[in-house]
Amino acid sequence: MATYELETPIPEEAVRALHVGDTVYLSGLIVTGRDAAHKYMVENFIRAGVVPASEQALYEELKRLLNGGVIYHCGPVVRQREDGQWEFVAAGPTTSIREEPYEADVIAHFGLRGVIGKGGMGPQTLRACQEYGAVYFHAVGGAASLIADAVKEVVAVYKKEEFGIPEAFWVIRVEGFPVVVTMDTHGRSIHEQVERSSRDVLNRLVSSSTI
């Protein structure tokens, strides 16, 4: 296990050099996106025959930000200062598995290099990580205020009125954002290993209790 400092946009070769268990400190621009954001991207951009004209500007901006970039499963707590600028008060990760129906398509279409969340994701996302060169970064749950310290600037926000604050696309600049690689480009997933080990233990317990 090694420690890396990476800045977005992240080159593919840098991501493919990472392995499960590595610690990474991320810097640069990242984008938050939860359920509504993922559903929106898939329905309006990825699976739509033609991107609606009204959404074209946002589509181009997301393509720029997410190509080589990172999406963060986060519903932040924010406040607006007197000067009108937004800042993050808390920025803890949300459970990622809800995005499993969408994430592989998002990785493939936008050229994502990283997904941040908690709890891990499933086989579709793991295959996309292998094929397209992306990793899943696990952020520490329960440390929302601490993680918010790594958010140095809110650069922009999209779909806030339509989706609400937690579900909006927040574009943030981070410095030294601490994460751990738990799904890599080599087909390894800590979450899959833990689930398999837990299932084996459960089966042994069940078997012994029926003897």
- Condensed to tens digits (0 to 9), the pLDDT of residues 141-187 reads 666 777 888 999 999 999 999 999 999 999 999 999 999 999 999 99
Whole-prediction pTM: 0.88
CA 5 to chain CA centroid, nearest Å:
17
Segments in the chain forming alpha helices (H)? 12-16, 35-41, 56-66, 100-110, 123-132, 144-148, 160-163, 190-209
**Angle of the 100-110 helix axis to the 123-132 helix axis, nearest 10:** 10
Active-site residue among 38, 73, 109, 191? 38
Q: How confident is the model at residue 196 (pLDDT cuts 50, 70, 90)?
A: low
CA gap 102, 138 in Å, rounded: 18
Quick check: 136 pLDDT over 80? yes
Q: Is 38 one of the annotated active-site residues of the chain? A: yes
Domain 3-209 CATH assignment equals 3.40.50.2000: no
Q: Where are the domains of the chain?
A: 3-209
Compute the half-sphere exposure of residue 9: CA atoms within 13 Å on the CB side of its CA: 12
* 114 touches 10 (CB < 8 A): yes
**Whole-number average pLDDT of the chain:** 90
Q: Which band of pLDDT confidence, cut at 50, 70 and 90, is reported for residue 202?
A: very low
Using CA atoms, how far apart are residues 169 and 32, in angstroms rounded to an integer? 5
